[in-house]
Amino acid sequence: MTDLRERLLTAAAELTCDRGWDGVTMGQVAARAGVSRQSVYNELGGKPALAEALIIQRTDVFLAGVAEQLAAHHGDVLAAFTAAADYTLRTAADDPLLKAILASVHGEANDLLPMLTTRPQPVLARAVDAVLGQLRREFEVPLPDGQLEKAVDALVRLTLSHLVQPTLPIEHATAQLHWIASRLLASERR
């Protein structure tokens, strides 16, 4: 990532936390980053492209932490998944940008929440691909490949659901995810 791009995304994240996404303009991002508005458009395109870049950048930060959690539990896929889910939920609970996205008024044409919930590419697809790839490389998972893909997709979706709509304390949500993951793996061993 270029230094300019990083500065622009940092500025956009700060403004979103301060004003909500609907209150963010390209001119404000430019001013906060200390560049011209044209530089923002040249680097990122319009506001929808800025939104996607912002969500992708934050997703990649989360996925780096998920990768660390998975790697720390090499050999025990259930412990690895549970640690990764717990990390995701705890980190999300303290993330100011995510809090701003979840607390904003939704329904605007350029709302950020759909990128977390209904548009699969920026978050869901990236997360499933990253977790699936690491599981295939580092673990012996007792599932045929097609079933592993379905299991990872379901577990990532459930984790994201707890992240976007937290109704349980994190430790209970993590325990629930652990239980479901253990059943998915156990059902395939029979």
Q: Which pLDDT tens digit goes with each residue over 141-177?
A: 878 778 999 999 999 999 999 988 889 999 999 999 9
Inform me whether the pLDDT recorded for 111 exceeds 90: no
The class that CATH gives domain 47-189 is mainly alpha
What's the 3-state SS for 122-152?
HHHHHHHHHHHHHHHHHCCCCCCHHHHHHHH
pLDDT at 116: 67
H/E stretch holding 185 reads: helix 170-189
Q: What is the mean pLDDT of the chain?
A: 88
Listed by start position, the domains of the chain span: 47-189
Instruction: Determine whether 188 is exposed, middle or buried from the number of CB atoms within 10 Å of its CB (0-12, 13-18, 19+).
Output: middle
Tell me how far apart the alpha carbons of residues 183 and 142 are, in angstroms, rounded to a whole number. 12
- Residue 53, pLDDT > 50, answer yes
pLDDT computed for residue 171 by the predictor: 96
**pLDDT over 70 for what percent of the chain?**
88
CA distances 134 to 77, 130, 131, 182, 184, Å, are: 11, 6, 5, 18, 18
pLDDT of residue 87: 97
Q: Say what the pLDDT of residue 190 is.
A: 38
